[in-house]
Structures are given as C-alpha cells and as structure tokens.
Chains A and B, each alone.
Chain A
Amino acid sequence: MAAHRREGVAGYVFLSPWLLGLLGITAIPMVGSLVLSFTNYDLLSDWSELKWVGIHNYTRMFTDDPHYWHAVKVTLVFALVAVPLKLSASLAVALLLNKERRGTGLFRGLFYLPSLLGGSVALALVWRAMWAKEGAVNGFLALFGIEGQNWINEPDWALHTLVVLAIWQFGAPMVIFLAGLKQIPKELYEAAAVDGAANWRAFWHITLPGLSPVIFFNLVLETVHGFQGFTSAYVISGGTGGPIDSTLMYTLYLYKAGFGDYQMGYASAMAWVFLVAIAVITAVLFSTGKFWVHYGDQS
C-alpha cells in the first residue's frame, strides 16, 4: 500500500514539469481569457476600471464588425486553398522519395529543409523580397517575357503568396506520409503485380486505403495549422493585414484588436469563438473519417 502511494507520488513528481506548464501557461490563462471576454479589458487601464459587459463582445463580433467577417472569409479561403494543395504536394513528394534510389536520403533532407525554417520571421522577410515588384519571382517570369504583378502589394494576389509559402513548407506532413508508406505491407504490391494491376490501380486500391489513417491525421493537423496562420501574414503585410485587409487572417485581426487597439476583452472573445469553430471543424472531419479511413485491424 505504502509502496503504491510512494510510486504515485513519484509519478506526479515526474509529471510536474508538464503539469505546471499546462496549468500555468495554458489552462489558467485560458480560463482567464474566457472571463476577460465578458469584460471591456483594455490591457492598460487600472483593474478598477474593468467593467462586466456581458455578451456584448460576442454580439458586436457577429452583428457590428464588418472587418471581423472579412477576416473570417480571408482565413477560410486561405485554409481551403492551402491545406488540400499542401497535402497533395507532400503526398506526391513522399511517393517519389519512397522508392529506394541513390541519394534518396539527401533529397528527403532537402525537401524537409523549408519546414525546419518553420513559421520563421526571417523566411517571411525573404518571401516578401522574392515577391516584390523587382523580386526574384518577377525576374524569373521576365525570362519568358512575362511582366509580373507587384504580388504582395495587390489585394487580389497578396493572400496567394501566403498560400504558396504555406505549400512550400510541406516537409512535416511529407515525413509522416513517408513513415506511413513504409507501413504498407510489400506483399500487397507484389500480389497486385502478379495479378497484373497497373501502377495507378495499385495506388488507388492499396496505397490510398493503406495510407488513409495517416492522411486523416495530416488533414486534421494541417487544417488546424492552416486556420492558425499568423507569422507570414504579419510579417509580409507589415503587421497591417493589408493591402485593404486582403491578408487579414483571423489571428492577425485578433492580435491587432488586442495589442493595437487595446481591446483585449474583444480579442479574448474572438479567441474563444475561434477555439469553438476549430473544435467544430475538427469534429466534422472526425465524423467523416468513418467513411474513408481504414484502420488495419478492421476487416
């Protein structure tokens, strides 16, 4: 009995770094922001000025803030375009790199490289320079006699440069796809080959079903990730979400409301709506899973 208890205590001690982090950095601040979302908290004023405003922040968001709905639209467009393209690109590259050839290891490394740079500020700065009027992209287009746009300064194009940046960083899902491909039993392909099935049929009937749990995992992860895009939009638009709000991603608008306009209560409310929205979207993805995700242990 006593030994058991001692073990339990030891367990909690080993758990404590994570537990403290979870409570101090995630859970308690989250509860705090939920409370603040019902107030007029403005970051700077004395706490005595804090007023309870009920659901005002929420009603304002839905009924009285055109920029809010604009930000929702921008974010949806970004996620709906970037996520499928990124997944397709990473799956395609993973299929190519799955074949054992000389130098495969090197190529795997090279393709993963952009993702190591992650959502870094330096990368976004380079991106901004590349897509400028006199940037590398237009220099390349000029070789073919095409005069490029001022990409990041045109409201119709700016968001798409962010989409391309997101797709380019396909390394993380690619590595997961690669691992998934290795899990598919080789015998299945051998049997298909014996039966005379073409490559595309093998892909359709063996690779995709075999990979579906991994595709599902990547889809959920990248969707959540896509909705949370912030750094590239912030850096490339100089923190404004411009030109004329064309890159005003949800998280960027939230940040601007909280730290730029000192409406932290409103920003907190936005964050909670965002959390619920992502939870709903994830739940919907899960509910579709049973129609197309095949786990090996199911018949």
Chain B
Amino acid sequence: MHRAANAHVTTRRSLLRAAALGALATPFLAACGDDAGQQPAPESTEPVELSMFWWGAEARAKSTEDALKLYTAKYPFVTFKTTWQGNQGYYDKLATLAAGGNAPDIFQIDDGALSEYAERGVTLDLNSYKSSGKLDVKKFPEGLWKYGEVGGKLSGVPTGENTPGMIYNKQLCTELGIPEPTSGMSWEALITWAEQVWVKSGNKVYGTMDPSADYKALWVWLRQQGKELYNGKAVGATKEDLVKWFDLWQGARDRKAAPTADLIHEANGGDVTKQLVVTGKAATSFMWGNQIAELSKATKSTLGVVTYPGDNKGQWARAALYFSVAKSSAKRDRAVDVVNFLVNSPEVGKLWGTDRGLSSNLDVRKAVSDSLTDAVQKTAFAFETDLATKFGPAPQVPPKGHVKVRALLTTHAESVQYAKATSAAAADAFLKEANAALAA
C-alpha cells in the first residue's frame, strides 16, 4: 500500500518535471531533428533510473549489463535497475508487474506475446518516435521493423533477426557415414534420412525430433502450401491440413525415424538442455537458427544448422525478440532513447553477437559479422545471411490468444503421439478450442 502511494507521487512529480523540461527543450530538438543516425540529445541531466526486464541465461545478462554501462558512460545521469530470469515464468511475472501498474520502463518480449500486450494497451506506440527520428529504424530491413506493428501501432523494436533452424548432430553423420541434411530438402526426404540414422546407429539414435507439437514447424509447413497459421482472428489451417500434418509424423514414428512420445514430450518443454540433439536421443532438433550457439555449449558433439525442410519461401525474417516500452512509463522518452541506442550501436552489436538474433541494423550487422571469431556464432551468421535472399513475405504478427493456441497445439499433437487420440479427433478438438481462444 505504502509503496504504491509513494510510486504515485514520484510519477506525478516526474511527469510535471518532464513536461516542464520538454517545453524548454523543444527548440533545441527541432534544431538537430534531421541529423539522421545521431542519438537525440539528452533533454535533461536530472538523474534518472530506468527499469529493464528480460529473460535469458547468465551470458545474456552480462552482455546486457555491459551494453547498458555503455549508455551510462554516455549519459552519466541515466542509471538502470535491471531484473532478469529464466524463460519459464517470465510472462507471469511481467503480467503481474503490469497488472500492478509497475510495468518496467523497458522490457523484452517475443512475437508470441507482442499482440497480447499491444492489444491490451500495455506497450507504447512508437510510431511518433519513428517519424521524429528519435527511434531510427532506417537501417533495418523493412519487413523486420514492420513485424513489430500490431494493428498499425509500432509496439516493439526487433532486437535482431532470426529464423527457425533445424539443428543436427554433424559429428554423428560423419561417424555413421551418412550425408548431412541440407536446407530445402523435402519433409519426406528428412524422414527417409532419419530412418537411416536409426538403422545405421544400431537402433540407438532416432533420426529426427518429431515437431508436430511445435507451432513454428507447423507454420512453415503450412506456408509452403500457400497457407498461414492465422487468418485474421482464426486458425488458417483446415482440418484436412492438420490431419495430414499429424499423419506425416505418425508415419515417421511408425518407421522409427522419430522417437517415442515420452522423449518428444521432454523436448517439447523447450528447455535447451533437454533437446534430443543435446541429450543424444535424436540427430535433429527443431529450434531457432541462433540457438546453435546455446545448444553447442550443452553438448560435446559438433552441431550444424539448416532450415526446416521444404521450400525456404515458407520462411520469413522473424524478429528474434523485441524491446517494448511501457505506455505507463513516466520516463518513456528516455526509455525510447535507450532502446534506440541498444539496437543501433555497433558496440552493443559486438557485445551481443547473435544472442538476440542478427542485429536488425544492417550496418551494425556488417560490423558484427566482421568482428566475429567464434566458429559457432559464425555458423549461425552464415545460416541467416544465406537465407535472407530466399525469404517469403512476412505474415501478420500472431494475434492475441496465440500463447493459448501454442499450448493447445502441443496438447492435441501429443495426444496423437501418445496414441490417446486419432489425428482426426485431435484436429477437430484443436480447431474448436483454438478458434474459441482467438475469438475471446
């Protein structure tokens, strides 16, 4: 109670202060407004503390702190109160903070949740900052920053570009004497290849993870047939599509190309250390391209990365993550300036490498690419750069309800994997429940 009252006073006071200073600074700002690429000049040198919240591992925490120190070095009166945690429970915490009126000034978000927060008015619309040049996205690929728009509002700034990537055990291929999987191979070819892994490994290693519960894989597969996961506020796939998808993987499991349901379930949790390519239970995992760095750290085997099977037109330039600014922030101008710094500074780009995707700013991306020394990061970089010429057009950002739809797909796909439901029954149940969740 006491704290809330206090925060309220601070907010009102700093609002007044910001308004007064804003008026003072207007002529000054106008004078340097068209100086493209430069950081907007500070409007005030009053000490200010910004809160920032993200999820990730320890390495990301360190590189983020270092990046913020660069900003503080530039503007010594700006300090940061950072909070970070693992992926699990991140959105619970963020929702609780936002519900209590304590949303962090800057927070990390992904395309799974962007609409949930944007449509409920938690995120600040950054369009006015973009047009005034205070938020500079001119060096971003157009499709990439547009992937931060929800209903015409620029709700998040992509920290980098990323694409789903199938990560495979390169070393195992050499040991078993079988060719490595290639980008653009058909889904059927992957399953045939995977069958070989099972046979040649003496029935020890399954060939491929079964991604039928993974919305990323389903989405790419649908796009390769000219469809989308979402059609406005409804599921874009028909029952026939879903049955075909579930049956494709039922076939793979029957042929021992893909593992048993309990192993698939372990990996479906998303935990990096539980991925089958890391635990050695299967030769591939369906992840994000840049995660090869993270996965490589968790295993002794040498890994490689190719795109998900099928035509690469099904892929698009995804925002790996976004930074959003809270609409309720009293320090929103400063917060936007910090985000602008983080996504456009080459120094920050070099600190982060591929951790938050390939830098959105193409100049920064070039600088990062020139400075890379780590072999695994180079692989991730080459993978994404090569794909950039083959992308299809970006779809709409997943709508509100997407989080629930993802969970529903997992549940119903798993019920087929555990042989508790037929493909047709699972497809029916998924469509009914997913469409209800999207309409809510």
Contacts and interface: CB of A to CB of B under 8 A. Distances in A.
Interface string B396-418: 00000001100100110011001
A155 B440 CA distance: 29
**What band does the interface of chain B fall in when counting residues whose beta carbon is under 8 Å from A?**
35 or more
Given A133-B262, A154-B262, A242 B414 contact: yes
B95 A242 contact: no
Contacts of B266: 150, 153
Nearest to A149: B262
B50 to A, nearest CB: 21
Nearest to A238: B269
Nearest to A157: B262
Secondary structure of the A contact surface, majority rule: loop
Interface in A199-245: 238-240, 242-245
Nearest to B96: A259
A240 B410 contact: yes
B414 A259 contact: no
B271 A238 contact: yes
Contact of B95 (A44, A49, A66, A67): A44
Contacts, number: 77
A260 B436 CA distance: 16
Given A259-B96, A263-B440, A244 B420 contact: yes
Contact of A261 (B96, B117, B403, B411): B403
Contacts of B403: 260-261
A55 interface: no
A24 interface: yes
Interface string B170-205: 000000000000000000000000000000000000
A61 to B, nearest CB: 14
A168 interface: no
Nearest to B269: A238
A244 B92 contact: no
Given A133-B262, A238-B269, A260 B404 contact: yes
Contact of B116 (A44, A66, A245): A44
Given A45-B120, A260-B92, A262-B120, A240 B269 contact: yes
A43 B407 CA distance: 20
A44 B122 contact: yes
Contacts of B61: none
Contact of A240 (B122, B262, B407, B437): B407
Contacts of A259: 91-92, 95-96
A166 B342 CA distance: 48
B265 interface: yes
Interface string B426-440: 000100010011001
A195 interface: no
B418 A155 contact: yes
B248 interface: no
Secondary structure of the B contact surface, majority rule: helix
Nearest to B414: A244
A46 B121 contact: yes
B1 A24 contact: yes
Contacts of B429: 66
Nearest to B440: A263
A43 B91 contact: no
A24 to B, nearest CB: 7
Contacts of B98: 43-44
Interface string B75-91: 00000000000001101
Contacts of B99: 43-44, 264
A131 B418 CA distance: 19
A86 to B, nearest CB: 27
B265 A242 contact: yes
A243 B265 contact: yes
B96 A242 contact: no
A21 to B, nearest CB: 12
Interface in B259-316: 261-263, 265-266, 268-269, 271
A150 B116 CA distance: 35
B116 A244 contact: no
A189 B139 CA distance: 89
Interface in A154-172: 154-155
B414 A239 contact: no
Interface in A131-145: 133
A260 B407 contact: yes
A277 to B, nearest CB: 24
B117 A242 contact: no
B91 A243 contact: no
A154 B429 CA distance: 21
A239 B88 contact: yes
Given A155-B418, A261-B437, A262-B116, A244 B411 contact: yes
Interface string B82-124: 0000001101100110110000000000000000110011100
A66 B429 CA distance: 10
A12 to B, nearest CB: 20
B418 A244 contact: yes
A264 B96 CA distance: 11
A220 to B, nearest CB: 32
Interface in A1-56: 24, 42-46, 49
Contacts of B411: 242, 244-245
A42 B266 CA distance: 31
Nearest to B421: A244
A239 B418 contact: no
A170 to B, nearest CB: 29
Contacts of A149: 262
A258 to B, nearest CB: 9
Contacts of A154: 262, 418
Interface string A63-107: 010110000000000000000000000000000000000000000
10 contacts: A24-B1, A44-B99, A44-B121, A66-B433, A67-B433, A153-B261, A155-B418, A238-B271, A259-B92, A264-B99
Interface of B: 1, 88-89, 91-92, 95-96, 98-99, 116-117, 120-122, 261-263, 265-266, 268-269, 271, 403-404, 407, 410-411, 414-415, 418, 420, 429, 433, 436-437, 440
Given A42-B120, A244-B418, 12 more contacts: A24-B1, A43-B98, A44-B120, A45-B121, A64-B436, A150-B266, A153-B265, A153-B266, A155-B420, A240-B410, A244-B414, A260-B92
Q: Please provide the 8 A-B residue pairs with the shortest distance between their CB atoms, ordered closest to farther.
A: A153-B262, A150-B262, A44-B120, A45-B120, A259-B92, A43-B99, A238-B269, A243-B265
